[in-house]
């Protein structure tokens, strides 16, 4: 059929099953927004900042497992969105982000709101396009969705000049894709899988190292089965929280800079690392030369560039984690879980020696208590988003996650301001779940304008602001490593968060006691509207354990026991 470029975008969304688009209009993308006005197949959520549009699309994608979609205009509209693209690229989140561009005749003339969007996005997208002919647009749209969701997922950017959106061309979306240079390898090599199973059977202290790639591959429940059948303990990265349920006896905990003592010691003592969907990030490994230095490594990942990039893999397996784990399950009969009984007892001893805990305070609320309490009251009924900082790490440590896609956070890029818009996207993807955003008094102000988005669209996100009047994580480093020189991290001058929420049409609570918190959370859930719950927490609390940057996992700074000085 002969339609305009703008109509092609709409028809592609419909063909791809898109039900939600996040965005912000402007001159260069106006033709597409005119077509959005005319259709009723999907909803458009108007954010109040383009960065928030992309973060909301990330939150939607993380919860739904679908490709998130965002749309912005040229120039500053695009540059505002770049942080979201970089965030999605680091965390392997499938997105299609469409930006408007000045007309073809004006490209390169420094026209109003012109920017080299494709040049800028090249380093922070899986792939990008500048559309120069309307006849290419259907193919490009189809390729973009395919590339975003296959292989190692990631964001794809399409830049469309305004005149291309106005031109008429033939829309054929049934074309067969043939990307000669893009052929994701999804099946693991059977010989390598057999060797890996043999290595597991011979190991005395094997350890599953679970990464976010498991969730991307929708492989969590197969991984649970594999771990149960082998009896091998497991650690999760921050991005993998929820792969195993918090109460699984074989889950040791979170690994890395703020991982539990038992998890980090288990990684330091293992003789075989079984890495599934991981990339050996520096926040996990610490000092590379000391990371699992007595262990062989099995590394399963769909991205061949990730294998042996940082840690040499003795048993490299390129393939989709879901397919590889499925093949491994067929051979687990060779593995005797009784062989690992003493290893499991060693790990129990690690946990008893230094359990993951915190010291209660009779006068002030501890932030860890807030996170645990939300878990006790809402548990599986909530999807948990976070901003970035101490509250983010405490959420990873203390929330009782029960399922994959329950936890939404900015991991690789560490983007303050991510949490609120991501929680909006999470709620759009799963309206039946309560959407909680744990945030800090610093992070919440980064995208506070999204209060208006949530109020207008009646998206009831509950923002729990753990207010310590500090940029907490930076302050922690300054306290520990900069002789308490708290340079520009004191946030004592703040808005009235209750009035701020009310000014946008939401509700607000300020709590200083546990009883007040319980009442506020219950009320916010029952009222089912946008809410700020400001919790005045212990000001100088630190996230512990902590592995200093560049240090070895087994050299952790630990929580002082009561009575220690």
Domain boundaries, the chain: 2-170, 190-353, 367-536
Per-residue pLDDT averaged across 54-83, rounded?
Answer: 98
* CA–CA distances in Å: residue 22 to residues 61, 384, 553: 12, 20, 40
* CA–CA distances in Å: residue 528 to residues 84, 447, 506, 517: 28, 21, 10, 16
pLDDT at 334: 86
CB 51 within 8 A of CB 80: yes
DSSP lists the bridge partners of residue 129 as 158
What SS3 string covers 55-112? HHHHHHHHHHCCCEEEEECCCHHHHHHHHHHHHHHHCCCCEEEEEEECCHHHCCCCCC
CA atoms within 13 A on the CB side of 334: 15
Residue with tokens 């940029």: 471
> Catalytic: 287?
no
**C-alpha Rg value of the chain to the nearest Å:** 24
DSSP 136: G
CB 230 within 8 A of CB 272: no
* Active-site residue (options: 30, 42, 113, 228): 113
Per-residue pLDDT tens for 391-407?
Answer: 999 999 999 999 999 99
Note the CATH number of domain 190-353.
Answer: 3.40.50.1220
Assess whether the region 2-170 and the region 367-536 belong to the same CATH fold: yes
Q: Collect all residues with Cβ–Cβ distance below 8 Å to 222 and sequence separation of at least 6.
A: 322, 325, 326, 329
* Active-site residue (options: 39, 41, 43, 112): 112
% of the chain residues with pLDDT over 90 = 98
Number of H helices, E strands in the chain: 21, 20
Residue 311's closest CA among 331, 337, 345, 287? 287
What distance in Å separates the CA atoms of residue 163 and residue 383, rounded to the nearest whole number? 42
| Segments in 330-459 forming alpha helices (H) | 341-353, 367-377, 390-398, 419-429, 450-456
* Active-site residue (options: 265, 416, 473, 556): 473
pLDDT at 409: 98
Label residue 263 exposed, middle or buried (CB < 10 Å: 0-12, 13-18, 19+): buried
Cα-Cα-Cα-Cα dihedral sign, residues 69, 21, 438, 382: negative
> Catalytic: 113?
yes
Residues 167-178, buried b or exposed e (16+ Cβ, 10 A)? bebebeeeeeee
Maximum alpha-carbon separation in the chain:
77
pLDDT at 1: 87
CB 12 within 8 A of CB 138: yes
> Catalytic: 322?
no
The overall average pLDDT reported for the chain is 97
Query: DSSP string of 374-406?
Result: HHHHTGGGEEEEE-SSHHHHHHHHHS---STT-
pLDDT at 564: 52
Residue 299's closest CA among 283, 280, 281, 285? 280
Dihedral of CA atoms 396, 402, 403, 409 in degrees, nearest 10, equals: -20
Residues 67-91, buried b or exposed e (16+ Cβ, 10 A)? bbbbbbbbbebbbbbbbbbbbbbbb
DSSP 109: T
Confidence tier at 145 by pLDDT (50, 70, 90): very high
> Catalytic: 112?
yes
φ/ψ of residue 27, rounded to 5: -55, -45
What top-level class would CATH report for the domain 367-536? alpha beta
What distance in Å separates the CA atoms of residue 347 and residue 292, rounded to the nearest whole number? 15
* Active-site residue (options: 126, 162, 322, 427): 162
What distance in Å separates the CA atoms of residue 319 and residue 184, rounded to the nearest whole number? 8
* Active-site residue (options: 11, 35, 50, 236): 50
Per-residue pLDDT averaged across 316-325, rounded?
Answer: 98
CA atoms within 13 A on the CB side of 141: 29
For helices 472-481 and 390-398, angle between their N-to-C axes, nearest 10 degrees? 100
Q: Label the pairing between strands 434-440 and 461-467.
A: parallel
pLDDT at 363: 85
Confidence tier at 563 by pLDDT (50, 70, 90): low
Task: Tell me the fold of 2-170.
Answer: Rossmann fold (3.40.50)
What distance in Å separates the CA atoms of residue 79 and residue 159, rounded to the nearest whole number? 12
Residue with tokens 């703020």: 258
pLDDT at 213: 98
Q: Tokens standing for 545?
A: 């354990």
> Catalytic: 162?
yes
Per-residue pLDDT averaged across 28-42, rounded?
Answer: 98
Residue 565 has pLDDT above 50, yes or no: no
The length of the chain, given as a count of residues: 565
């Amino acid at each position: 059929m002969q339609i305009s470029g703008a109509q092609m975008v709409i028809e592609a969304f419909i063909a791809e099953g898109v039900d939600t688009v996040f965005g912000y209009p402007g001159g260069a993308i106006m033709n597409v927004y005119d077509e959005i006005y005319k259709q009723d197949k999907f909803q458009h959520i108007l954010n109040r900042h383009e960065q928030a549009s992309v973060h909301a699309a990330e939150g939607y994608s993380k919860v739904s497992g679908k490709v998130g979609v965002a749309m912005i205009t040229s120039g500053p509209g695009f540059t505002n969105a770049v942080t979201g693209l970089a965030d999605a690229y680091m965390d392997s989140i499938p997105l299609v982000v469409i930006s408007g561009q000045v007309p073809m005749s004006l490209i390169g003339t420094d026209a109003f709101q012109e920017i080299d969007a494709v040049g800028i996005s090249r380093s922070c997208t899986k792939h990008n396009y500048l559309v120069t002919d309307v006849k290419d647009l259907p193919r490009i749209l189809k390729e973009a969705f395919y590339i975003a969701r296959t292989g190692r997922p990631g964001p794809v950017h399409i830049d469309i000049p305004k005149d291309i959106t106005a031109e008429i061309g033939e829309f054929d979306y049934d074309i067969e894709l043939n990307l000669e240079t893009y052929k994701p390898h999804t099946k693991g090599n059977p010989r390598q899988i057999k060797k890996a199973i043999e290595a597991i059977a011979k190991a005395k202290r094997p350890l599953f190292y679970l990464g976010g790639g498991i969730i991307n591959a929708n492989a969590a429940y197969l991984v649970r089965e594999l771990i149960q059948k082998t009896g091998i303990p497991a650690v999760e990265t921050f991005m993998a929280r929820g792969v195993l349920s918090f109460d699984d006896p074989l889950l040791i905990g979170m690994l890395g800079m703020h991982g539990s003592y038992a998890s980090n010691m288990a990684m330091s003592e293992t003789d075989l690392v079984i890495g599934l969907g991981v990339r050996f990030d520096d926040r996990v490994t610490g000092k590379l030369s000391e990371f699992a230095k007595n262990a062989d490594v099995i590394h399963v990942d769909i991205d061949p560039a990730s294998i042996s990039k940082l840690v040499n893999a003795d048993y490299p397996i390129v393939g989709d984690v879901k397919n590889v784990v499925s093949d491994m399950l067929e051979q687990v009969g060779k593995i005797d879980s009784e062989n690992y009984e003493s290893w499991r007892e060693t790990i129990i001893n690690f946990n008893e020696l230094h359990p993951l805990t915190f010291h209660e305070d009779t006068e002030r609320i501890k932030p860890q208590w807030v996170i645990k309490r939300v878990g006790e009251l809402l548990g599986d009924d909530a999807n948990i988003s976070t901003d970035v900082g101490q509250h983010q790490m405490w959420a990873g440590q203390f929330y009782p996650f029960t399922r994959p896609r329950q936890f939404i956070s900015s991991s690789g890029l560490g983007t303050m301001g991510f949490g609120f818009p991501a929680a909006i996207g999470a709620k759009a993807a799963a309206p039946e779940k309560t959407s909680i955003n744990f945030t800090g008094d610093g992070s919440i102000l980064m995208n506070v304008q999204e209060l208006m988005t949530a109020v207008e669209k009646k998206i009831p996100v509950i923002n729990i602001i753990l207010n310590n009047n500090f940029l907490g994580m930076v302050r922690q480093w300054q306290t520990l490593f900069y002789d308490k020189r708290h340079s520009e991290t004191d946030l004592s001058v703040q808005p009235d968060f209750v009035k701020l929420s009310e000014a946008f049409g939401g509700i607000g609570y300020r709590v200083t006691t546990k009883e007040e918190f319980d009442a506020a959370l219950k009320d916010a859930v029952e009222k089912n509207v946008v809410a700020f719950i400001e919790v005045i927490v212990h000001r100088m609390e630190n996230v512990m354990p902590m592995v200093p940057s560049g240090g070895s996992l087994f050299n952790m700074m630990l929580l002082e026991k009561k009575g220690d000085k």
